[in-house]
Structure 1
Amino acid sequence: MNSYYLSLLVFSPLLGIVLLALMPKSNEKGLKMLGVLATLPATILALLAYFSYLGGKDLASFSEQVNWMRFSDFSAIHANLFTVKYELGIDGFSLLMIVLTSVLATLAAIASLHIKNEWKGYYMLFLLLEIGMLGVFTAQNLILFFIFFEITLIPMFFLIGKWGYFNKEKAAYSFLIYNGLGSAILLIVIMVLFAKTGTTNIETLKVLVNGGEGQTLAAMSESLKMGLFIALLIAFGVKLPIFPLHSWMLRVHVEAPPSIVMLHSGILLKIGAFGLIRFGMGIFPEQFETLAVLIAILGVINLLYGAFLAFIQTDFKMVLAYSSISHMGIVLIGLGASNEAGVQGAIFQVVSHGLISALLFFLVSVLYERVQTTQMNELGGFAKSMPIASGFLLAGAMASLGLPGMSGFVSEFMAFLGLFKEMPILAAIGALGIIMTAVYLLRAVLSITYGQANREYAGIRDLRSFEWAPVLVLIGLIILIGVYPAVLSQPLENIVLGIGG
């Protein structure tokens, strides 16, 4: 069925890019307003799809498929052999990711009002980044996925390198080199699968690689399958990131504009988790099961390493950067458990951390815009000068450390429940990371809000009118998931039963 709904959703920011290109670059107010408004169509379409699904609409009705590329004519063997189609579609997991992506893009566009110069180029690249992110979660074949994946790298490189901070060029090149190497490995996997099976359709690959109906063009040995899975683990491990492939991410979190880090930590890191679940567990389930213990161990290492390093940081952005590494460890822990609770916890953590990290980095942008620093020894006493922002900052920290009633608790509880069922000793070791999370977050936040500053901050303004919307929306969603997890679990029922059952 071709509804073209998803194409409209994915490419809706393109209209904003065209309109921005036609506006004079000196019109600051108009450019910023258009940049924010251009993100709204995708948000509205994504929310309509979500509520339509809750109302009983079959997600298959959103699918679309158009003939695109044919590498040779093998119609005598099979009509679709070595044919790549333009095909978009969604399941419950990707539906949640496009809703998360579109909502965070709108909120990050609002946070981008703090950008001081060259707004035209900034918002055009911002909207191109949104197209890439939306396309990644709707692509139904590996080549289309790869193209959208690469589209996200181009605008991110320039957004970091042009609008970042002191070492922005180094951060931008680190981002490009590491992610470029990950992309190269991913491309090799895609080409091998294409050569062996004659298709890149994700659902077809799940059947062919695992010996279902039909057969591959060339035999795929178990060692080849394991090699391809390990390559996928490395490719998406760079994106997640998995220790020790994480150093580039620290530079990006510190040097990129906070509005861009909202999308980087909230969405782009999650492409790594999405790829591991969709392709790793989906196409290579046996190989994933074989390495499940290793993946769980890597998750515990991520969790503990990130937590301990976050504790000794003096820059609040570095605290949040290491916190992201630590929290991505919870995703790996849930996936390594390879059972229903663990997989569901991992997916919940993907969404939950996306919201929490976006909230915290938005508040970083608010703070930096006022005082031009995030060094904790220069911050303090903001509970008195900025009580509302400080309250939201504490709420974000509480969500991140897993306070019951907030989304972080649900995701962490389910991920560890799954791991305790399969590997109780490893889970007990990993639980130390949860304790450390409370220590480093409370240390950092209480230092900023109630600590003694080395500088005097007078006349600092609390949240402005346009800054209220992002914090209220994000806090609202974090609490909604915490008290009513069914908003996530309902779309995930078939996914979790199919993968983690």
Structure 2
Amino acid sequence: MNQSILLSFLIFSPLVGILILGFMPKAQEKTIKLVGFLSTLLPLLVAGIIYVQYLSGKALSTFGEVYEWIQIGNFELYKGRLFAIDYELGVDGFSLALLLLTTIVATLASIASINIKKEWKGYFMLFLLLEIGMLGVFAAENLILFFLFFELTLIPMFFLIGKWGYFDKEKAAYSYLIYNGIGSAILLIVIIILFARTGTSNIALLGEILNGTYDTEQIIKPFSSELRWGLFLGLLIAFGVKLPIFPLHSWMLRVHVQAPPSIVMLHSGILLKIGAFGLIRFGAGLFPEEFVAFSVVLAVLGVVNLLYGAFLAFIQDDFKMVLAYSSISHMGIILIGLAALNEAGIQGAIFQVVSHGLISALLFFLVGILYERFETTSLARLGGLAKVMPITAGFLLAGSMASLGLPGMSGFVSEFMAFLGLFKEMPVIAAIGAIGIIMTAVYLLRAVLNMTFGSLKEDIKEVNDLKKVEWVPVIVLLGLIILIGVYPNVLSGPLQSTVETIMLGIGG
């Protein structure tokens, strides 16, 4: 295959599955589910090829793609076309990690989709369309293309929640659409202003222009401090909704509870990470001075997320809600790491992006198994799982240990580095935030031990443990969690160049 189109092939390869499904009779349940699963293997294979070539010494820059797309006017200035929107794809260490994470979680979520009960054809076509959007977001090299892929994720998610979710699915779907739609509108305003003022949407070139390393004085008027702050805060709100940052979080709770577990695997494991990716790539990348000046506020927001999510997770009586608030809490660790403005903190934040993606996917896969067996995830109605489902209970306990930061698992590496970075710069705020780490152990052990070793309920004595097909996701996800925890360099190696670029931008 021509290497110059490898990224495009990666992004749009799920279209093969969509086209095949489009010609299939909608009543062939088993065949449709098999095609849906096999369609996720192609992007996984391509992402694996890119990673293997990177490990063999191939520079990631060689995978970039640039094609002329839209020309507004006819200005041949500044190394390229002014007011032109090109089709630009690229990959660095951070985006490579997220592309791999996306393809892995998507494949495993397609296995979790075996429990979908109706309209399988439409489900998998939307599922694969969602994967295209997620892959495109992490590979886009200009803001317009990024925004198009960003919007592409909203449409299938809305229908996947509203059509295949649970009792209150419509409310959850509209809540998702409204909150994320507002965030998208703010992001679009920021992008339009940047494009109108600079004549480019290329992310790297925008960084040079905004940071004064590109000679544009003759044609581009310098940005005022007020405008820069306005644009930075716009990005913060837009991606803060996606992350989410308190108090922009209520929509996420509904999605985690009402969406099918297979879709929550994608939402919690990948889509929330778009918020973190945007804050790092555009917040710190395009506006480093404002990012540095805002670091204390960012640290406070991170601690609020961490404590708010942890304390509310402790009082929930439904395991889905425990995990939903846990996600809010763990997103605070990303903010804490970024606010540290040092190498340890930023690396910890990026590690947390990947680590939480794997851990949350594992836990919500197990949630799907529990709901499929018992039609409930209420802590009051589940108990004694270790006696009737010992293997599932064991994986549930292992996933919880990873989430609370047990040494030897990925959660420990990310939390340790994020707090190490913050303790160096803001020890008081870090000490307050450490309470959230303690609370994580409290609420997770309370919930999991209640389900696994609590009193056995009379109506759950006859259930099946893990099916053969269900072994694959839990083994793969737990294996990756342990691999990163035991050998962090498997992730820190590719991420090093990204961390160095961020540190250079913020003056570290």
TM-score (norm 2): 0.97
Q: Does residue 497 of structure 2 align to residue 494 of structure 1?
A: yes
Closer/same/farther in 2, CA of residues 383 and 59 from structure 1, 3 Å limit = same
Residues 349-393 of structure 1: CA deviation (Å, up to 9, x unaligned):
000000000000000001100000011100001101000000000
Structure 1 consecutive aligned stretches of length 4 or more whose deviation exceeds 3 Å: 76-79
The offset of 1:459, in angstroms, is 1.8
Equivalent in the alignment of 2:371: 368
For residues 53-73 of structure 1, give each alpha carbon's deviation from its aligned partner in whole angstroms, at most 9, with x where no partner exists.
Answer: 111000011111110001111
* Partner-residue secondary structure (3-state), 1:90: coil
| Conserved? CA contact 2:319–2:379, under 8 Å | yes
Q: What does residue 8 of structure 1 align with?
A: 9
Q: What is aligned with 2:206?
A: 205
Q: How far apart, CA to CA, are the structure 2 residues paired with 1:287 and 1:11? A: 36
Distance change (3 Å), C-alpha of 1:283 and 1:77: closer
Identity %: 69
Letter in 2 for 1:344: Q
CA-atom RMSD in angstroms: 1.1
Distance in 2, matches of 1:361 and 1:349, equals 17
Alpha-carbon distance between aligned partners in 2 of 1:114 and 1:76, rounded to the nearest angstrom: 56
- List aligned pairs for 1:133-152, cutoff 5 A: 133-152=134-153
Structure 1 231/455 Cα, relative in aligned 2: closer, same or farther at 3 Å? farther
Question: Which residue identity does 1:92 align to in structure 2?
Answer: G
Q: Distance in 2 between matches of 1:74 and 1:464?
A: 62
- Give the conservation status (yes or no) of the 8 Å contact 2:408–2:486: yes
Other-structure match for 1:436: 439
- What amino acid is aligned across from residue 161 of structure 2 in structure 1? I
Which residue of structure 2 aligns with residue 305 of structure 1?
A: 308
Q: 1:473 maps to what in 2?
A: 476
Q: 2:348 aligns with which of 345, 350, 363?
A: 345
Name the counterpart of 2:19: 18
Distance 1:319 1:453 in 2: 21
Cα displacement (A) at 1:76: 6.5
Q: Which residue type is aligned with residue 261 of structure 2?
A: P
Instruction: Tell me, in whole angstroms, the C-alpha distance in 1 between the residues paired with 2:151 and 2:253.
Output: 21
CA distance in 2, matches of 1:38, 1:489: 30
Contact 1:160 1:171 in 2 (8 A): yes
Q: Which residue in 2 is equivalent to 1:28?
A: 29
Q: Distance in 2 between matches of 1:51 and 1:265?
A: 27
Q: Is the 8 A contact 1:98 1:137 kept in 2?
A: yes
Classify 1:455/1:313 alpha carbon distance in 2 versus 1 (closer, same or farther; 3 Å).
farther
Residue-by-residue CA offset, 1:408-458 (whole Å, 9 max, x unaligned): 000000000000000000000000000000000000000111112555213
- Say which is worse superposed, 210-219 or 284-293, in terms of deviation: 210-219
Equivalent position amino acid for 2:434 in 1: A
Residue identity in the other structure for 2:187: L
Q: How far apart are residue 218 of structure 1 and its match?
A: 2.6
The code of the aligned residue for 1:336 comes to A
CA distance in 1, matches of 2:415, 2:80: 46
| 1:378 aligns with one of 369, 381, 388 | 381
Superposition deviation, residue 75 in structure 1? 2.7
The 5 Å alignment of 1:150-169 reads: 150-169=151-170
The alpha carbon displacement at 1:79 in A equals 4.4
Equivalent in the alignment of 1:176: 177
Equivalence for 1:70: 71
* Count of residues paired in the alignment: 501
Residue type at the aligned position of 1:286:
E
Question: Is structure 2 residue 296 aligned with structure 1 residue 296?
Answer: no
Residue in structure 2 matched with residue 194 of structure 1 by the alignment: 195
Match of 1:60 in 2: 61
Judged with a 3 Å threshold, the aligned counterparts in structure 2 of structure 1 residues 98 and 78 are, in CA distance, closer, same or farther, namely closer
The residue correspondences of 1:207-246 to structure 2 (distance < 5 A) are: 207-215=208-216, 217-246=220-249
- AA matched with 1:23: M
Are the structure 2 counterparts of residues 456 and 294 from structure 1 closer, same or farther at C-alpha, using a change threshold of 3 Å? same
Q: Equivalents in 1 of 2:337, 2:430: separation in Å?
A: 10
CA distance in 1, matches of 2:59, 2:250: 42
| SS of residue in 2 equivalent to 1:80 | strand
**Whole-angstrom CA distance in 2 between matches of 1:404 and 1:454:** 33
SS at match of 1:72: strand
Q: How far does the alpha carbon of each residue in 1:30-89 deviate from its partner, in whole angstroms, 9 at most, with x for none? A: 000000000001001111111211110000111111100011112367741000000101
Alignment of 1:30-49 (within 5 A): 30-49=31-50
Equivalent position SS for 1:460: coil
Distance 1:132 1:158 in 2: 15
* 1:402 has 2:423 as partner: no
